[in-house]
A and B are shown apart, each in its own frame.
Chain A
Amino acid sequence: MGNRAVAAEQALYLYGVSPARARAGTKIGSPGIDGVHGVEPLSCGEFVCWASAVDAASFGEALESNMENLDWLALHGVRHQQVVGEIARQETVVPARFGTIFSGKDALRKDVEGRREMLKRVLAKITDADEWGVKVYAEHKPAREAVAASSGRDYLQQKAARLKTRPERDDAELKEFASALGEAAADSAPTGKISGAQPDLAWQATFLVPRKRRTEWDGVLKKFVERWSGARRIEVNGPWPPYSFVSDAD
């Protein structure tokens, strides 16, 4: 915000909430969600709220239509992750839902105060833990894919053959994998609303993994990487801020 005049049309975009003791020395270098305003720690009682100024018209009133604009969503989704990721590398943080905006500091503080107990519960759950995404892909069989269909019937036969070899989602080995990962993790959640349509993706989920259990977690992944060599490929992404494990429902 700095030397910009705080005009009536400004609002606050919230990235997440940390315990108040987190504040000292934490600096966020990534630009805010609008690419202009910096991210500041705002004191909110027992908590620190990470927020930046945004234009109320373009981020508030236009948010719903912006969410359907994929260019907008991709750019701002990345900015959101850059900020929340930078906070999470330094502090325990409860990520706010993408697109959370307040009219000002007073409204933000009032809301956070009303959620004290829930925030403390969630903070206890996510402290010293990271979110990790895991995907399982069926390995390609290039020879079959490479053959060009010589006729419509040929094409349909090839397609049927491909579909036949597609792994079942309720496959027993996938269940075993999910269960072993779940034992090493503190929690799990479904994911893949955006990327779920990828070809050959057989299974995916996201997990909350305590840092002190990383060895056990890595051991499960290693075991299945070896067992499925040539048949299935495991892809792991992370560490993410605990986006998928902070809902009110808990």
Chain B
Amino acid sequence: MPTDFEPIAPGGTAEDEVSLLDILDHVLNAGVVVHGSLVLSLAGVDLVYLGLSVVLTSVETALRNLQSGQE
């Protein structure tokens, strides 16, 4: 792109990888509402918004889990 800004790509190389907060922002930003045979909802997710520092801690843990290889 002939611009002086570079978009941060989801799932790009480690260096320009988008933050986990951004991933959760988009992944949890609606999506088609489907009610399966099991009743599911996003109930409770508001609790996530309470503390950024808590989220960040969790994000680090999640990254470590991912880096140490999935099952």
Query: Interface SS of chain A: helix, strand, loop or mixed?
Result: mixed
Inter-subunit contact B59/A193 (CB<8 Å): no
Query: In the complex, what residue of chain A is closest to B31 when comparing beta carbons?
Result: A97
- Distance of A14 Cα from B31 Cα, bound (Å): 11
Query: In the complex, what residue of chain B is closest to A100 when comparing beta carbons?
Result: B34
Shortest distance from the beta carbon of B3 to any chain A beta carbon, whole Å: 5
> Residues of A contacting B66 with CB < 8 Å?
75, 78
Shortest distance from the beta carbon of B59 to any chain A beta carbon, whole Å: 5
- Distance of A101 Cα from B2 Cα, bound (Å): 43
* Chain B count of residues within 8 A CB distance of the other chain: 52
A-B Cβ contacts below 8 A, count:
201
- Distance of A240 Cα from B8 Cα, bound (Å): 11
Shortest distance from the beta carbon of A19 to any chain B beta carbon, whole Å: 15
Partner pick for B20 among A60, A78, A248, CB 8 A cutoff: A78
- Distance of A211 Cα from B65 Cα, bound (Å): 35
- Distance of A115 Cα from B36 Cα, bound (Å): 12
- Flag whether A221 is at the interface (Cβ < 8 A): yes
- Distance of A238 Cα from B5 Cα, bound (Å): 13
Inter-subunit contact B10/A75 (CB<8 Å): no
> Residues of B contacting A246 with CB < 8 Å?
30-32
- Flag whether A184 is at the interface (Cβ < 8 A): no
Partner pick for A194 among B1, B11, B25, B57, CB 8 A cutoff: B25
Inter-subunit contact A85/B10 (CB<8 Å): yes
> Residues of B contacting A247 with CB < 8 Å?
30-33
Q: Interface 1/0s, chain B 18-51, versus A by CB < 8 A?
A: 1111111111111111111110111111011100
Q: Interface 1/0s, chain A 64-76, versus B by CB < 8 A?
A: 1101101101110
Query: In the complex, what residue of chain B is closest to A192 when comparing beta carbons?
Result: B25
Shortest distance from the beta carbon of A76 to any chain B beta carbon, whole Å: 9
- Distance of A65 Cα from B50 Cα, bound (Å): 16
Shortest distance from the beta carbon of A234 to any chain B beta carbon, whole Å: 6
- Flag whether A31 is at the interface (Cβ < 8 A): yes
Partner pick for A78 among B3, B48, B62, CB 8 A cutoff: B62
Partner pick for B4 among A99, A225, A237, CB 8 A cutoff: A225
Partner pick for B40 among A60, A236, A243, CB 8 A cutoff: A60
Known contacts A74-B61, A195-B22, A221-B5, A107 near B37 by CB under 8 Å: yes
Chain B residues with a Cβ under 8 A of chain A = 1-5, 7-11, 18-38, 40-45, 47-49, 52, 54-55, 57-59, 61-62, 65-66, 70-71
| Sampled A-B contacts (17; CB under 8 Å) | A64-B44, A68-B47, A70-B48, A73-B45, A81-B11, A97-B32, A111-B34, A111-B36, A131-B26, A189-B29, A192-B25, A193-B49, A194-B48, A236-B5, A237-B10, A243-B30, A247-B31
